[in-house]
Amino acid sequence: MIAQHLVIRGRVQGVGYRYAMTEVAETLGVTGWVRNRRDGTVEALFAGDDRKVEEMIGLCAAGPTRAKVTEVQRFAAVPPDEPGFRQLPTE
C-alpha cells in the first residue's frame, strides 16, 4: 500500500476534473480525496494498492476530455484515516 499527495496544474477547474477522479477512484477502490484550490490547481491524496495508485496518477496527468494538464507534482504521503474517496471543499 502506498499514498501519494498530488498537485495538478493547468486547465483543471471547471472541466469535471474532480468528478472524473472521484468516479475512477471509487471504481478502483482507492481511498483519499480531491479538491480545488483557490490558486487554480487541483490537489489530491490517493492511497491503496501500488498499481492502482499509479493508475490514478497516470489518469491525473491525462485529465478528463476538457482538461489540459501542464504539471503533476507528487509527494509521498500518509494514508487518510477515513475510508472511501471524497471531494473536499475548495481550500
The residue from 9, 11, 35, 36 that is catalytic is 36
The verdict on whether 9 is a catalytic residue reads no
Residue by residue, pLDDT tens for the chain (91 residues) are 999 999 999 999 999 999 999 999 999 999 999 999 999 999 999 999 999 999 999 999 999 999 999 999 999 999 999 999 999 999 9
The residue from 9, 18, 38, 66 that is catalytic is 18
DSSP for 27-39, please give it.
HHT-EEEEEE-TT
Task: Identify the structural domains of the chain with CATH numbers, from first to last.
Answer: 2-79 (3.30.70.100)
Q: What pTM does this model have?
A: 0.95
The verdict on whether 51 is a catalytic residue reads no
* Residue type at position 30: V
Q: Is the C-alpha dihedral spanning 85, 17, 47, 52 positive or negative?
A: positive
Q: Given the DSSP bridges, would you call strands 68-76 and 2-11 parallel, antiparallel or unpaired?
A: antiparallel
Per DSSP, the three-state class of 63 is: coil
* Residue type at position 28: L
